[in-house]
Structure 1
């Protein structure tokens, strides 16, 4: 049982750790050139209506004597090969894209599909193996101690837990194994089975059960198109062209007035702020003149808000400091 468990773990690592067949992105869109594929006549008609030339959304490619449309990927800036699709989770175009498996955290594609199927089928066999021999252990306990099934479970609770766990699990991994075995024999992918419904139309990739089986398990796995250990090449012109914009984008937005007060800088205040200050000064002066009896307050006249350094700074900025001093002198005379 230990060997089977190690085999399942090894296949899991192969499935999740391999490049599934990621197609490298282009730095620039491809040129309009004759590469053996044909362009849709509908797109040509729309281009004659005016505007600059753009890349057609699809191209027609002949596969086994049948015409197959390949789409242009705006993210990777390339025409996807047949059976290739863009994974929305990995954000990459993957050759022979089957699906993105959340349980292994990886796309399943051309370079790791056989290991995925072996992992799922080995897990199914392991569940059946554990389920069967746990029952054998329970039966031996019942024969040895001449007890019923419940007491046998009490004497070996681990066997009971494994029986319940494998019974539930085998339905999932077993169903997945059967479904992918059907896909292998008909040369389909999960994406194609749900998207194109080949049971209703001709599958251009189906070459018979035997050849399909050989293609999946005995064909040579292509080498990866990516060098994940290579150094990333960065365009130096783009780096030197945008340092200031990066600095400005990273600079936090600080309110103008608070920044000026904290840093001790004297900058211009908006016109509406100046009108605000004048109206506040006028309202305070009117209240002082209309007061018939002096009121005792906790504020000292010398510590009034009008005499704070910030207000003097703003008043001096707009030349109204003279008006403040005249008002103070007039208050002192009275």
Structure 2
């Protein structure tokens, strides 16, 4: 009789476990380099030698990591850089002088043409970078998460188009540019996981 009760108890426990939505946050990782417990979305930068919150990438031109506290300023820097390059492009174009023949025109404007090509390429690259970072900010994603999604532990169980941190374009951009406090990403991850549980009846 005691056996049947224990079997019945075990069966009911399994049934209850299957009914409880699996919304637990993935276990926090411990950094293999500095042995600190990393918060969600953090990553160790081997170039800088420390863990960075909401790691985006390491910028070799600035010799600094881009993360939670300076990503917005990096985007503003790209915007200012693009405006300066477009202004330089305008000044270069205004300095091009007419010539009586193609040979004379090339001889007079060869330095300006070389500058025009250099500034034009730099403007195009900066515009693409700015567009990419504005897009990532609008969906609340980082370059690291976007490029290495299959290797990020807390994104492995999400669908290809699913982002557990996405709160809509307006909220994402507001948080990105206007929020100056540290964000607990585990809480947002857990809330979105709970709302996306399939088969719930209300």
TM-score by length of 2: 0.66
Label 1:132 to 1:195 Cα distance change in 2 as closer, same or farther (>3 A): same
Question: SS at 1:73's partner residue?
Answer: coil
Greater mean alpha carbon deviation, residues 186-195 or residues 146-155: 146-155
Aligned CA RMSD, in angstroms, stands at 2.5
Q: Counterpart of 2:141? A: 188
**1:162 to 2:115 alignment:** yes
> 1:321 corresponds to which residue?
none
Q: Which residue is 2:164 aligned to? A: 204
Give CA deviations for 1:192-251 in whole Å, capped at 9, x if unaligned: 0012267714211111111111111111155xxxxxxxxxxxxxxxxxxxxxxxxxxxxx
- Render the CA deviation track for 1:139-175: whole Å, top value 9, x for unaligned: xx22xxx635653453344422220111222232222
Q: Which has the higher contact order (CA 8 A, sep 6+)?
A: 2
Q: Is the 8 A contact 1:128 1:170 kept in 2?
A: yes
Following superposition, the deviation at residue 125 of structure 1 comes to 2.6
CA distance in 2 between counterparts of 1:179 and 1:188 reads: 11
Alignment match, 1:134: 92
Q: For 1:152 and 1:207, how far apart are their aligned partners in 2?
A: 55
SS at match of 1:107: strand
Instruction: Tell me how many residue pairs correspond in the alignment.
Output: 154
Q: Distance in 2 between matches of 1:76 and 1:149?
A: 63
Matched, 1:82 2:40: yes
The answer to whether the 8 A contact 2:138-2:168 is kept is yes
Contact 2:57 2:65 in 1 (8 A): yes
Q: Answer yes or no: is 1:147 the counterpart of 2:127.
A: no
**Does 92-101 or 161-170 show the bigger shift?**
161-170
- The answer to whether the aligner puts 1:109 opposite 2:67 as a matched pair is yes
C-alpha separation between the residues in 2 aligned to 1:148 and 1:203? 59
Consecutive unaligned residues in structure 1, runs of 5 or more: 1-61, 223-334
Mark the structure with the bigger radius of gyration. Answer: 1
Task: Give the superposition deviation at 1:95.
Answer: 0.5
| CA–CA distance in structure 1, aligned partners of residues 78 and 103 of structure 2 | 33
Distance 1:172 1:69 in 2: 38
SS of the residue corresponding to residue 68 of structure 2 reads coil
Runs of 4+ that moved beyond 6 A: none
- Whether contact under 8 Å (2:69, 2:180) holds in the other structure is no
